[in-house]
């Protein structure tokens, strides 16, 4: 039972709260309105059902490994930084710098190196061919020497990003140690670009959009949602956002109350000649090779009359013993 509760509690945690270890996620701090609270997080229920595929507890397995290391290497002896997209607003970077590279920089910059700060310089390179100097804008994040990955809030969907891991010297000069790949975050709402050949009026698109998310006429919040999208589309606001589709579900989770379950079973056992025929409550039962038998029953409230009759193999003799058992529960 404890396992079931643990699974449900974990689910609750995933659905209601997700805290980033290193960065603040301001989006999640937004409190959902009553209207929004009725919508479900995209994918929560799918996640729960997919999880049920793997519903088994942990068992310690002793695996024999001949001479194989058990842990992965901590680095791959490369200078590199890799960017990945997490969602329309957040990207993730992981990196590695060779010890020899650090040493080279240390000897090159000598005592400036010790006073330098290690930085992630995050460039907005949307729609340009980045040459290192022509970014639209950038912002810096300071990281310490032991960090090897970071989640970055880019502040807006649908843009391209590139990151330099580098040193900011005391003289304010920035030295790039290694440059990342370029990633593009997706839009968080419908595109502003329309296709001449496949045009439809904005309010029609708003309705189709809402319906696609299951917020059509049959949904209680559908109409309000459609109004909102219509308004956003026609008012020229960039990236209307689907943040409200990702609000927490108002699901009636089971309350965490103290609980106790008790049930009773009855074991009826006996022995006779191994070749005798035995019936219990009129039904024949099988004997073990040594003539013994054991029966196990769930014992509900009430009276159970249990005639046990044994007949010898030649049919000449018979014996009956009838235990009578009563259960009540207070």
Partner 1 sequence: MHKGYLCLILHGHLPFVRHPEHEDFLEEDWLYEAITETYVPLISVFDKLIQDNVDFRLTMTLSPTLISMLTDPLLQERYLKHINRLIELAHKEIERTSWQPNFQGLAVMYLNEFSKARETFERYNRNLVLAFKKFQDLGKLEIITCGATHGYFPLMDVCKESVRAQVKVAASHYEKTFARKPKGIWLPECGYYPGQDEILKDAGIRYFISDSHGVLHGTPRPKYGVFAPVYCRGTGVACFARDLESSKQVWSSIEGYPGDYNYREFYRDIGFDLEYDYIKPYIHPDGVRINTGIKYYRITGSDNHKETYVPAWAKEKAAEHAGNFIFNRQRQVEYLYDFMQKKPLLVSPYDAELFGHWWYEGPMWLDFLLRKIAFDQDQIRLVTPSEYLMENPRNQVIIPSLSSWGWKGYNEMWLQGSNDWVYRHLHAASGRMTDLAKIFPHADGLLRRALNQALRELLLAQSSDWAFIMGTGTHTSYAIRRTKDHLLRFDRLCEEIKTNSIDGDWLADIEYKDNIFPDIDYRVHQ
Considering only residues 279-298, where is the footprint of partner 1 by CB under 8 A?
Answer: 281, 283, 295-298
Does residue 217 bind partner 1 (CB under 8 A)? Answer: yes
Distance CA 135, CA 162 (A): 9
Chain-centroid distance of CA 224 in Å reads 30
Least distance between partner 1 and beta carbon 257 (Å) = 8
Does residue 59 bind partner 1 (CB under 8 A)? Answer: yes
Does residue 24 bind partner 1 (CB under 8 A)? Answer: no
Number of amino acids touching partner 1 (CB under 8 A)? 110
Among 212, 236, 284, 315, binds partner 1 (CB under 8 A): 212
Cβ(317)–Cβ(298) below 8 Å:
no
Phi and psi torsions of 189, nearest 5°:
-155, -175
Cβ(219)–Cβ(211) below 8 Å:
no
Cβ(224)–Cβ(215) below 8 Å:
no
Among 107, 133, 144, 218, binds partner 1 (CB under 8 A): 218
User: Which residue reads 């090897």 in tokens?
Assistant: 148
Distance CA 322, CA 306 (A): 5
Distance CA 91, CA 85 (A): 4
Among 32, 126, 130, 216, binds partner 1 (CB under 8 A): 216
User: Which residue reads 């699974």 in tokens?
Assistant: 7
Least distance between partner 1 and beta carbon 54 (Å) = 6
Among 144, 198, 262, 329, binds partner 1 (CB under 8 A): 198
316 pairs with which residues across the strands?
none
Q: From the CB of residue 110, how many other CB atoms can be counted at a distance below 10 Å?
A: 9
> Comparing C-alpha atoms, which of 165, 218, 213, 169 is closest to residue 188?
213
Residues 235-254 that bind partner 1 (CB under 8 A): 242, 245-246, 249-252, 254
Least distance between partner 1 and beta carbon 107 (Å) = 27
Does residue 17 bind partner 1 (CB under 8 A)? Answer: no
- For residues 173 and 256, which CB has a smaller minimum distance to partner 1 in the complex? 256
Least distance between partner 1 and beta carbon 245 (Å) = 8
DSSP 287-327: PPTTSEEEEEEE--SEEEE--EEEE-TTSS-EEEE--EEEE
Among 17, 29, 31, 68, binds partner 1 (CB under 8 A): 68
Residues 38-57 that bind partner 1 (CB under 8 A): 38, 40-57
Least distance between partner 1 and beta carbon 27 (Å) = 10
Helix (H) or strand (E) holding 175: strand 174-179
- For residues 41 and 169, which CB has a smaller minimum distance to partner 1 in the complex? 41
Alpha carbons within 13 angstroms on the beta-carbon side of residue 46 total 4
- For residues 169 and 187, which CB has a smaller minimum distance to partner 1 in the complex? 187
Distances (CA, A) of 107 to 172, 185, 269: 19, 38, 86
Does residue 113 bind partner 1 (CB under 8 A)? Answer: no
Interaction pattern, residues 300-329, with partner 1; x per rule: CB under 8 A: x---x-------------------------
- For residues 92 and 106, which CB has a smaller minimum distance to partner 1 in the complex? 92
Among 72, 129, 262, 324, binds partner 1 (CB under 8 A): 72
């Amino acid at each position: 039972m404890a396992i079931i509760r643990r699974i449900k509690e974990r689910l609750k945690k995933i659905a209601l709260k997700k805290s980033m270890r290193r960065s603040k996620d301001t989006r999640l701090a937004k409190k959902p309105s009553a209207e929004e609270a009725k919508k479900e997080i995209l994918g929560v229920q799918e996640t729960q059902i997919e999880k049920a595929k793997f519903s088994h507890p942990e068992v310690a397995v002793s695996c024999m490994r001949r001479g194989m290391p058990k842990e992965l290497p901590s680095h791959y002896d490369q200078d590199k930084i890799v960017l990945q997209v997490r969602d329309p607003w957040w990207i993730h970077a992981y990196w590695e710098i060779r010890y020899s590279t650090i040493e080279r920089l240390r000897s090159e910059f000598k005592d400036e190196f010790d006073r330098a700060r290690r930085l992630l310089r995050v460039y907005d390179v949307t729609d340009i061919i980045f040459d290192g100097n022509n970014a639209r804008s950038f912002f810096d994040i300071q990281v310490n020497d032991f960090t090897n990955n970071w989640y970055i809030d880019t502040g807006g969907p649908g843009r391209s990003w590139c990151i330099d891991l580098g040193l900011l010297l005391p003289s304010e000069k920035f030295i790039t140690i290694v440059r990342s790949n370029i990633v593009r975050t997706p839009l968080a709402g419908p595109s502003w670009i329309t296709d001449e050949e496949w045009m439809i009026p904005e309010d029609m698109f708003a309705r189709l959009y809402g319906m696609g998310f299951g917020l059509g006429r049959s949904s209680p919040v559908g109409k309000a949602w459609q109004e909102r999208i219509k308004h956003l589309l026609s008012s020229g606001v960039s990236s209307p956002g689907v943040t409200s589709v990702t609000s927490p579900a108002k699901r009636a989770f089971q309350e965490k109350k103290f609980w106790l379950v008790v049930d009773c079973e009855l074991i009826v056992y006996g022995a006779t000649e191994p070749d005798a025929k035995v019936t219990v409550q009129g039904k024949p039962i099988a004997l073990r090779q040594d003539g013994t038998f054991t029966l196990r029953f769930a014992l509900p409230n009430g009276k159970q009359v249990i005639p046990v009759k044994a007949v010898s193999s030649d049919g000449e003799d018979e014996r009956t013993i009838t235990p009578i058992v009563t259960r009540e529960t207070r």
